[in-house]
Amino acid sequence: MNPLTLMTRVTGTSLMLFALAACSESPQSPSQIARSTPSSSNDSRTTVGSEAIDSCTLLTDEEIARTTGYPVLRKKTVAGSGGFSPPGCNWELKSDKGIPGLHRISIDVIRSGGKERFKLMNALTPVAGLGDGAVKTGGNTDGTVWAVAGDFMVTLRYALPVDTADPDPLVLPLVKIILSRQ
For the stretch 161-171, pLDDT in tens is 999 999 999 99
19 versus 129: which is more confidently predicted?
Answer: 129
Euclidean distance between CA atoms 145 and 121, whole angstroms? 11
Domains of the chain: 3-180 (3.40.1000)
Euclidean distance between CA atoms 133 and 125, whole angstroms? 11
- pTM here? 0.71
- What's the whole-number mean pLDDT along residues 119-142? 94
Contact 89, 109 (CB under 8 A): no
Instruction: Give 53's pLDDT tier (boundaries 50, 70, 90).
Output: confident
Q: What is the pLDDT of residue 85?
A: 67
Q: What is the pLDDT of residue 48?
A: 38
Contact 135, 121 (CB under 8 A): yes
